Amino acid sequence: MAIVVFFVLMMPFLIERIAFQYTNSYLAQQQKKVMKIIERDGIDFYLEGGASYGSYTMLKEEYIALEETEKDYFIDTILTTERVVEQDTLNYRVLMSTFKSDNNNYLLEIGKTTDTI
């Protein structure tokens, strides 16, 4: 009986961990897709002559942001954080990664709301 109770109590934590691991994998796949497009079509495919790029899905469940950053700024992580989107504060699971293109350093963010996880 104790084992069953322990398992029932641990179930939400296990499901949450599995969901976050799946989301991390999904974000990494999205990063690969973006990087392939940049390698094939160049960074201007996203920037279109501007300094940054941002795109949200219609319901603000996912987003991609791309901006130029300092030459010595490097990050490669996945974290849970808040973002303000059109006056709404939403929690996102965010992949943040820097890369070089055309002798410039760029920050790529790909996020998915924790509510959808």
pLDDT at 8: 87
The contacts of residue 6 (CB under 8 Å, 6+ apart) are none
Which conformational region is residue 41 in: left (phi greater than 0), alpha (psi within -120 to 50 degrees), or beta? alpha
**Whole-prediction pTM value?**
0.88
pLDDT at 39: 95
pLDDT at 32: 98
pLDDT in tens, 28-67: 999 999 999 999 999 999 999 888 999 999 889 999 999 9
Average pLDDT value for residue range 18-34: 96
How crowded is residue 88: how many other Cβ atoms within 10 Å of its Cβ?
A: 8
pLDDT in tens, 92-103: 999 999 999 988
pLDDT at 38: 96
Q: Is 117 a residue whose pLDDT tops 80?
A: no
